[in-house]
Amino acid sequence: MIALYFKKMVIQQKLLIMQLLLVSSAMLFVFVLTVVYQYISYKQELMDSLNSQISVVEGNIGSAIAFDDKATATEILATLSLNPSIDQAYVELQNGVKFSSYQSRNTHIVASSSEKHYVNQAGIEMIKPIMDNGRKLGVLHVDANFLAVNQRIKVFVLALLGAVALAMLLARTIAAKLNHVITEPIIYLEQLVTNITKKHNYTQRSTINSTDEIGALSLGINNMLDNIKSRDDKLVEELKQRVVIEKRLDQLAYYDSVTDLPNRHAFTKNINQLLGFNQQDQSHFYLLMLDLDFFKAVNDTHGHEVGDELLKQCGLRLRRMLSEEDAVFRIGGDEFAIILKAVKTTRDVEKICQRIISVVSQKFVIKLHEILIGTSIGVAQYLPGGCSESGLIKNADMAMYWAKSAGKNTYKFYSEEIEEVNFYRQKLAMDLQNALINNELVLHYQPIVEVTTENIIGFEALLRWAHSTEGYISPNVFIPIAEQSGLIVQMGDWVIESALKQLKSWQNAHEPALFVNINMSAKQFYDKRIVDSIKKAIQKNRVDPSTVNFELTESIMMEDVDKAIAIMQLLKQMGTGIAVDDFGTGHSSMRYLKQFPIDTIKIDKCFVNGLPADNVDTAIVEAIFALAESLKFDVVAEGVETLQQFEFLKNKPCAKVQGYYFSKPLPVGLIEKLLNQNKVLQ
Ligand code: C2E
Ligand code: CA
Ligand code: CA
C-alpha cells in the first residue's frame, strides 16, 4: 500500500522523503551514539572525581582513625560535600564499627545502611580500604548518585535535540535546494518531452545548458530532437515528393497527355463507380460516345501535330460547353466519351447532342489551317438495375456507328431497333461467310453511256447477294458488314476476277473498247496484296488494263493519302484507270485532288437529282465539269433518271452518264441482250 503510494508520488516528493529518511536515520544513529557516549563520559568523569576525592579522604583520614579523632575524621569526610553527587560517606573500622560519617543535605535515603534505595536515581557505592603505613585501619564507604550525571545528560540531550532539529531543518532546506537544482530541470525536461510528443512539434529545444549530467541529458535530448527534426523534415520532403510523384503517376495513368482530359482508364473506372453507386442511388445517367468525322483525313493532310492540336481544341470546346457535373474523356484516337449526370430528360440530351455537333462543326484554325470536322454521337441511357459497364459502352458504341452510317455529324440514341438491326447484321455477318462458297453472290452490271452517241461504252459492276432466305440483300447493307469482318478482301478478289472474266467475254463478242468499273472498299484497297491480285486477274483474263477502272470514294483516298497515292500509282503503272466515286460527298481537299492520279470523277447522284431545276445542284455540277476540264478528268454523272437530266448533261464535254434513265444494274443475261441490240433499255 505504502509502496504503491510511494510509486505514484512525483519525483520531488520521493526525493524529499528519501532524503529526510536518510538524514533522520543518520541523525538518530548519531544522536543515540552521542548520548550514550556522553552518558558514559559523564559517569567516568564522576567516577574519576569520586576516586580522586576518595583518595584524598583516604590519605588524610588514616591518621584521624589512628588517633581516634572522630571530629577530624568527620571534618575530613565533610570535604566530600564539595561533590554534590556524594550522598553519604562513612568509615567503618576493622571491627565493623562505624567511626565517622558524612551525610549530604540533599540525600533522601530511606533505607538502612546495608540496603540503599535512592528515591530519584540509582547510585554507586565505592569502597576504599584505609591504609596507614601498610596497615589496614578500616574501610571508607562512599555512596554517590547519578543525579548530576543525569541532569547533565538531560541538558545535553535537550541541546542535542535542538541541534538535531536545526540539522533537520538545514537538511530540509538543503534538500529543497538540491531538489530545486536536480528535480526542476528533470521536470522541465519531462514536460518538454511530453509536450513535444503530444504536439509533434520537434522545433522546441531544452534551454538547460549546465555542465552536469542534467546538462548532458538536456544536450542529448536536443541532439535527439535535432535528429528527429531533420528526419522529420526529410520525411515531410519525401512525402511531398511522393504526393507529386503520385499526382504525376495519376496524371499519367488517368489523364490523356494530348488533351489533358481523363483517359479511357479513368472512363471505365468512373463508369464502374457510377454503376456501383447507382445500384443504391436509383438514379440514371446518359453515356455519349463521340467519334470525330474526317479526323483521319485531317491527320493525314496536315500532320500529327495539327491533329493533336485539333483534338486538344476539340476537348476544350466539349469541356467548356458541359456543366461541371458532366465528365468528358478522351478514350481513343478521335473518340471521346461524355457522361451526363445532371440531365434528366431525353429532350435535354438531344439538345446537348445538337450543341455538341454545332460546337465541333465550327471552324478550327490551327497553324493557319482552317479545319472543318464533325462528330457522330451514340447515346445510351443507364437505368438503375440496367446493363453492365461493358453493355452500356457497347450500346452507346452501337448507336454511334449508326450515327456514323446515317451520314455522320449526327446523333443516335441506342434503341431496341438498333439492337435488333445489330443482331440481324451479326446474323448476316455469319451468313456472309458461306455466301461466297454457296455462290450466293452475283454481279449485276449497270451500263455507262456516252452522251454524244448514247451507246453503251462500259459498265459498273455492282455486287448482289441472293440470300437463301432473305432474298436480294443490298450491297449498302452487306458491304459494310464484309468490311467489318474483313471478308471484303476475299469478296473483292472474287468481284475483280468475275468482272474481268465477264468483260473479256463481252469484249470478245462485241466491242474490245468496252470497259468495266469495279468498286473498291477501303480495307480491300489498302490490303497489301491488292496490286498483285489485280495484276494476276488482268493477266489471267488477258484483258487490256486500260479497259479496267477502279472506283474509289474520296474518304477511301483521304484515309491514308500517301499510301493511297502510292497504290494508285502502281495501278496506273499497270495501265488501269481510277475513278473518284460519289464525288462531292466526301471530304477531299482540292490540293490533294491534283496529286492523286485520277482519270475520272463520278458526280454523285445527289447533285444530279436536282438537275436542271435546282440552281445549287446545277451550279455544283457546272463547277465539277469546269474542274474536270481543267484537270483533264473524264466525268460520269451517276443516277441519271430523267430525260431532263440527260438533256442537261448532253452538252457537257467528256460526259458519260449512268442511271435508271438508261438502265438499272442488270444481270449478265439482260446486259447481253442490250449489247446485242447495241442500245440501252429505256
Ligand atoms: P455506288 O458505287 O455509288 O453505286 C451506285 C449505286 O447507285 C448502285 O446501287 C446503283 O444501283 C445505284 N444507281 C445507279 N443508277 C441509279 C439511279 O438512276 N437511281 C437510283 N436511285 N440509284 C441508281 P447499288 O448497286 O445498290 O450499290 C450500292 C453501293 O454498294 C455502291 O454504290 C457501292 O458503293 C457498293 N457496292 C456495290 N457493289 C460493290 C462491290 O463490288 N464492291 C464494293 N466495294 N462496293 C460495292
Ligand atoms: Ca460506284
Ligand atoms: Ca457512286
The DSSP code for 10 is: -
Query: With bands split at pLDDT 50, 70 and 90, how would you rate the model's confidence at 588?
Result: low
Q: Which of 293-302, 501-510, 632-641 has the lowest mean pLDDT?
A: 293-302
Report long-range pairs for 344-349 (Cβ below 8 Å, ≥24 apart). Answer: 346/381, 346/413, 349/286, 349/288, 349/379, 349/381, 349/413
Instruction: Name the one residue in this structure whose C-alpha cell is 568509615.
Output: 91
Q: Is the pLDDT of residue 115 over 60?
A: no
Mean pLDDT for the stretch of residues 446-457: 94
Q: Is the pLDDT of residue 476 over 50?
A: yes
Ligand 1 centre from 634 Cα, in Å? 19
The minimum-distance atom of ligand 1 relative to the CA of 521 is 44
User: Phi first, then psi: what are they for 14, rounded to 5°?
Assistant: -60, -50
Q: Which of 3-17, 335-349, 491-505 has the lowest mean pLDDT?
A: 3-17
Ligand 2 centre from 581 Cα, in Å? 5
pLDDT score, position 644: 95
C-alpha distances out from residue 44 to 37, 40, 426, Å: 10, 6, 135
- Name the closest-CA residue to atom 3, ligand 1: 582
d(CA 385, CA 284): 10
Packing angle, helices 561-574 and 530-541, rounded to 10: 20
d(CA 357, CA 290): 10
- Name the closest-CA residue to atom 42, ligand 1: 519
The minimum-distance atom of ligand 1 relative to the CA of 488 is 44
Q: Is the pLDDT of residue 67 over 70?
A: yes
Asked if residue 350 lies in contact with residue 371, where contact means CB atoms within 8 angstroms, the answer is: no
Instruction: Name the one residue in this structure whose C-alpha cell is 567511626.
Output: 99
pLDDT score, position 186: 85
pLDDT score, position 280: 60
pLDDT score, position 490: 94
Mean pLDDT for the stretch of residues 25-36: 89
**Ligand 1 pocket: which residues have CB below 6 Å?**
446, 461-463, 474-476, 479, 495, 519-521, 551, 581-582, 605, 638-641, 658-660, 665
The better pLDDT of the pair 8, 111 is held by: 8
- Name the closest-CA residue to atom 2, ligand 1: 519
Ligand 1 centre from 579 Cα, in Å? 14
Q: Is the pLDDT of residue 277 over 90?
A: no
Asked if residue 649 lies in contact with residue 643, where contact means CB atoms within 8 angstroms, the answer is: no
From the number of C-beta atoms within 10 Å of its C-beta (0-12, 13-18, 19+), residue 36 rates as exposed
Ligand 2 centre from 372 Cα, in Å? 26
DSSP output for 268-313: HHHHHHHHHHHHHH---EEEEEEEEETHHHHHHHH-HHHHHHHHHH
The minimum-distance atom of ligand 1 relative to the CA of 463 is 38
Pocket test for ligand 1, best of 462, 483, 552 (most atoms within 8 A of CB): 462
pLDDT score, position 107: 57
pLDDT score, position 278: 59
* Nearest ligand atom owner, CA of 517: 2
Pocket test for ligand 1, best of 464, 484, 496, 519 (most atoms within 8 A of CB): 519
Residues forming beta bridges with residue 328, ordered by sequence position: 338
Maximum mean pLDDT: which of 118-122, 195-199, 459-463: 459-463
User: Phi first, then psi: what are they for 390, rounded to 5°?
Assistant: -65, -35
Cell reading at 183: 528535480
d(CA 83, CA 587): 150
Residues forming beta bridges with residue 132, ordered by sequence position: 135
Mean pLDDT for the stretch of residues 211-231: 88
Query: With bands split at pLDDT 50, 70 and 90, how would you rate the model's confidence at 109?
Result: very low
Proportion of the chain above pLDDT 90, given as a percent: 51
Ligand 2 centre from 460 Cα, in Å? 7
Ligand 1 centre from 176 Cα, in Å? 114
d(CA 596, CA 566): 9
pLDDT score, position 537: 98
- Name the closest-CA residue to atom 10, ligand 1: 665
Ligand 1 centre from 534 Cα, in Å? 21
The minimum-distance atom of ligand 1 relative to the CA of 660 is 18
Mean pLDDT for the stretch of residues 311-324: 96
Proportion of the chain above pLDDT 70, given as a percent: 95
Mean pLDDT for the stretch of residues 625-648: 94
The minimum-distance atom of ligand 1 relative to the CA of 524 is 44
Query: Is the bond preceding residue 612 a cis peptide, omega within 30 degrees?
Result: yes
Mean pLDDT for the stretch of residues 638-650: 95
Coil vs helix vs strand at 118:
coil
For residue 277, which of 382, 371, 198 has the smallest C-alpha distance?
382
Mean pLDDT for the stretch of residues 149-173: 88
Q: Which of 25-29, 171-175, 485-489, 504-508 has the lowest mean pLDDT?
A: 171-175
Cell reading at 102: 558524612
Query: With bands split at pLDDT 50, 70 and 90, how would you rate the model's confidence at 654?
Result: low
C-alpha distances out from residue 401 to 387, 412, 418, Å: 19, 9, 10
In whole numbers, what is the pLDDT of the chain averaged over residues?
Answer: 89
Cell reading at 165: 532539529
Ligand 2 centre from 20 Cα, in Å? 118
The minimum-distance atom of ligand 1 relative to the CA of 658 is 15
Instruction: Name the one residue in this structure whose C-alpha cell is 576525592.
Output: 53
Give kind and range of the element (H or E) at residue 623: helix 615-631
Q: Is the pLDDT of residue 434 over 60?
A: yes
Q: Where are the alpha helices (DSSP H) in 384-472?
A: 389-405, 416-437
Mean pLDDT for the stretch of residues 271-286: 76
Mean pLDDT for the stretch of residues 342-366: 94
The minimum-distance atom of ligand 1 relative to the CA of 443 is 41
d(CA 557, CA 577): 15
